[in-house]
Amino acid sequence: MAQPWLLSDRTRAALGGPDGQLLALIATAPGLGAPEVRPGAHAQSTSGEGRPLATAVADTVATGPSLALIGALAAIAVGAMAARVIRRRRSSL
């Protein structure tokens, strides 16, 4: 495997399974979107674990705090739309 630190925690855990070698080839294939491997080059790390920011964010998307943030943003958007509708109705009277 070319760059295992680019894989998410779930993917790295699945590498130990029966199809782990095939999964590693698919996950790191440059033809499928994985970055090209240059000898001696390492990915830029943005976390202490040596993983890029995109991988770290993808690992935390479905966690409780992320879902709470998405819910709060949705509630704010609904409140803003309701306020706009109320203002329009009042101004048309």
With b meaning 16 or more CB within 10 Å and e meaning fewer, what string describes 34-70? eeeeeeeeeeeeeeeeebbeebbeeeeeeeeeeeeee
Distance CA 84, CA 77 (A): 11
Q: Where are the domains of the chain?
A: 1-60, 61-93
Cα–Cα distance, 11 to 4 (Å, whole number) = 9
Output the pLDDT for position 45.
43
What is the pLDDT, as a whole number, of residue 80? 96
Calpha distance 66→62 (Å, rounded): 6
CA-based nearest residue to 24, from 7, 44, 37, 47? 7
Confidence (pLDDT) at 84: 95
**pLDDT digits over 28-69, tens only?**
777 877 777 666 555 454 444 566 777 777 777 777 888 888
Question: Using CA atoms, how far apart are residues 18 and 89, in angstroms rounded to an integer?
Answer: 62
List pLDDT tens digits, range 76-92: 999 999 999 999 999 88
Report the predicted TM-score, pTM, of the whole model to 2 decimal places.
0.38
Provide the percentage of residues in the chain whose pLDDT is more than 90. 20
